[in-house]
Structure 1
Amino acid sequence: MNADESPETVTAGLVDQGSTAGDSEGEATLAALIDQADSRNGKPGAKAVLAVDGTKVVAFEFATGDVLADHAARHPVLIQVIRGRVEFTLPDGPITLEPGQVLHLTPMLRHAVTALEPTTLTVTMLLPRD
């Protein structure tokens, strides 16, 4: 993401902005996030599952070998792996994330993601409040 792009600009066309997972109160179990989006053409599928109070949660669905090319987010994000394994390529080197692990990325930290097996993960964007 370029510094002048919003999260909505970067996720346009990649993230399905449809209905949220969970109930009318915005609550969802981790299991409900699996298979929210379909992987396609070597790229992960993504679906916004919650947007409230300066926080946007996007569920990503990766097939083995899917790649999310090098990019950066303008705001801090938290990544949580729900199932599967992914490799994050970071400036200091690659790291592998597995279920239950959480990764915090600071604003503008360049990274790429490669799925080592079928994977569901969430990205929680920590957005400024208006």
Structure 2
Amino acid sequence: MTDAGAVEALARAWAVEVEGTSYVPMGSDELVEYLTEISADLVAALRARPADTTVGLAAGARLVAAHFTGPSTLERTIVLLSTRLPDLLGDVVRGDVAALVGALASGYATTLRDRTLDEQEAIGAP
């Protein structure tokens, strides 16, 4: 399987995991396309030496921006990526995967917190 094919397969598996966990205003094909872009960025970040964990922060923020905010969305994402990325790139990246997925969770939580604070501020504004 080519890199592009492997990345798309990862994105399709990811879409299956998160579809229905949040209200995301995307059709199935659009969802796969969106997650393919993020997956490609994550794979490229893991191939960089050293691995670029800032890509994980951005990926987490992108998930929240697209409304992937259901209670099980982040959990399913972490489990999938922690399993599938080493399968795709080899065990040698396992430590980097943990750091990248941790950064994704951090970016997700930070962006979700900021969005919540912004919404609370908007509600309280006269």
| TM-score range normalised by the length of the shorter chain | under 0.3
Higher Cα radius of gyration: 2
Greater helix content = 2
TM-score by length of 1: 0.25
Q: Kindly indicate whether structure 1 or structure 2 has the higher relative contact order, using CA contacts under 8 Å at least 6 residues apart.
A: 2
Greater strand content = 1
